[in-house]
């Protein structure tokens, strides 16, 4: 009898709870991988669950913008460039492109960073492209009207996009595409522009509030999020953009990623929303996050990665990384 009780106790300890589940491998749970990192984590992305990049603020320790890489273990990758990085776009096997303050675009390949020449010094907020020699970068200065830009990279040089319609805004925030000839740009005042491989067209937007990030799977609907004090969520399934924002009160949404009918948005106050049955609803983490989320990424195995920190004012510090899926230990990253 005593042996049976001991065995039962050991089984419960191994399972982690009283219903037989192992919490560390519960794909429905959120885990806080990092908290209070020297630099805020402003963007997270990658190519697999064992090739994850998180980039962000400059902690001022001389190593440059804070960059972490996960390949089964975490490594800090010193950039050497004293800038804040706002976005990362990775290709399987490399290269990896990172954009940030001062018009900075870094290319990481074969273990080394290269700072690419760019047309201006305004902040690069987003990078996307179907191939390393067909990339778009967008950005600007939200405090200065007319600083919004769209650049294109052909593998050798970045140049201002030719034929872009004049849109009187201060910044484009993100770019994403379903293909090389189906690319969208979103920014201040709800602005949306479409590129069809031949030229640009400004699209009628269902909102005049800022759109901060967008995403679409190949063949899937576009979703864009934004807002300031409350969430703005707009979608285009091929019939034009529609406002599907949830009713207030809620937080501004800054990051977005979707996978089929599922989707995750994250934003201010450590808030997360999930698309369920076509509607966006609050998604509890199960713990408090003292910071703002900026980026969401879903890896090919369905793991959800959410990055943030103190991102609303300089210095961009206190990085946070949350993972939904099997627990990913933070541990050492040096």
Q: Quote the pLDDT of residue 28.
A: 86
pLDDT on residue 330: 84
Let me know if residue 11 belongs to a domain: no
**Residues 109-127: tens digit of each pLDDT:** 999 999 999 999 999 999 9
What are the tens digits of pLDDT across the range 236-259?
Answer: 988 999 999 998 878 999 999 999
Q: Which residue segment(s) compose the domain that 211 sits in? A: 28-324
Q: Is 209 left (phi over 0), alpha (psi -120 to 50) or beta?
A: beta
Number of folded domains that form the chain: 1
pLDDT at 329: 84
Residue 123 tokens, joined: 């902040």
Q: What is the mean pLDDT of residues 152-177?
A: 97
Q: How many residues are recorded in the chain?
A: 334
Q: What percent of the chain has pLDDT over 70?
A: 91
Q: What pLDDT score does 333 carry?
A: 74
Q: Is residue 145 part of a domain?
A: yes
The answer to whether position 100 is within a domain reads yes
When pLDDT is averaged across residues 32-48 and rounded to a whole number, the result is 97
Residue 18 lies in a domain: no
Q: What is the pTM of this model?
A: 0.91
In this predicted structure, what is the pLDDT of residue 287? 95
Q: How far is 41 from 86, CA to CA, in rounded Å? A: 9
**For 92-120, what is the mean pLDDT?**
97
208 part of a folded domain: yes
On whether residue 294 sits in a domain, the answer given is yes
**How would DSSP label each residue in 240-278?**
-EEE-PPPSS---EEEEEEETTEEEEEEGGGEEEEEETT
Q: What is the CATH number of the domain that holds 198?
A: 2.130.10.10
In a domain, 8, yes or no: no
Q: What are phi and psi of 286, to 5 degrees?
A: 95, 0
In the prediction, which pLDDT does 4 show? 38
Query: Which residues, including other chains, have CB under 8 Å from residue 77's CB and lie 6 or more apart?
Result: 67, 68, 69, 108
User: Using one digit for the tens of pLDDT, what is the confidence trace for 289-316?
Assistant: 999 999 999 999 999 999 999 999 999 9
**What is the three-class DSSP state of 155?**
coil
Q: How many helices (H) and strands (E) does the chain have?
A: 1, 28
The pLDDT of residue 194 is above 90: yes
Give a yes or no: residue 222 inside a domain. yes
pLDDT over 60 at 95, yes or no = yes
State the Cα–Cα distance between residues 16 and 314, nearest whole angstrom. Answer: 41
Q: Are 127 and 135 in contact (CB under 8 A)?
A: yes
């Amino acid at each position: 009898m005593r042996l049976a009780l001991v065995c039962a106790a050991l089984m419960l300890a191994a399972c982690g709870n009283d219903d037989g589940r192992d919490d560390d491998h519960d794909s429905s749970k959120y885990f806080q991988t990092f908290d209070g990192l020297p630099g805020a984590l402003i963007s997270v992305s990658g190519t697999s669950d064992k090739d994850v990049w998180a980039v962000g603020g400059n902690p001022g320790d001389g190593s440059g913008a804070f960059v972490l890489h996960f390949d089964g273990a975490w490594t800090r990758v010193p950039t050497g460039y004293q800038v804040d990085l706002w976005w990362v776009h990775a290709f399987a096997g490399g290269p990896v492109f990172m954009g940030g303050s001062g018009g900075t675009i870094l290319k990481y390949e074969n273990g080394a960073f290269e700072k690419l020449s760019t047309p201006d010094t305004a902040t690069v907020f987003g990078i996307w492209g179907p191939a390393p020699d067909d990339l778009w970068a967008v950005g600007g200065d939200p405090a200065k009207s007319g600083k919004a830009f769209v650049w294109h990279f052909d593998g050798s040089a970045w140049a201002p996009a030719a034929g872009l319609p004049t849109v009187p805004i201060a910044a484009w925030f993100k770019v994403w595409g379903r293909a090389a000839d189906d690319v969208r740009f979103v920014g201040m005042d709800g602005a949306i522009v479409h590129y069809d491989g031949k030229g640009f067209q400004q699209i009628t937007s269902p909102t005049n509030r800022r759109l901060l990030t967008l995403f679409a799977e190949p063949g899937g609907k576009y979703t864009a999020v934004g807002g300031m004090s409350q969430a703005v969520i707009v979608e285009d399934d091929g019939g034009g953009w529609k406002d599907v924002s949830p009713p207030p009160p809620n937080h501004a949404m800054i990051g977005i990623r979707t996978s089929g009918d599922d989707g995750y948005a994250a934003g201010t106050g450590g808030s997360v929303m999930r698309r369920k049955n076509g509607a966006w609803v609050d998604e509890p983490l199960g713990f408090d996050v003292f910071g703002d989320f900026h980026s969401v990424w879903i890896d090919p195995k369905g793991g959800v990665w959410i990055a943030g920190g103190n991102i609303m004012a300089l210095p961009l510090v206190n990085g946070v990384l949350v993972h939904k899926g099997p627990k990913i230990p933070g541990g050492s990253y040096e």
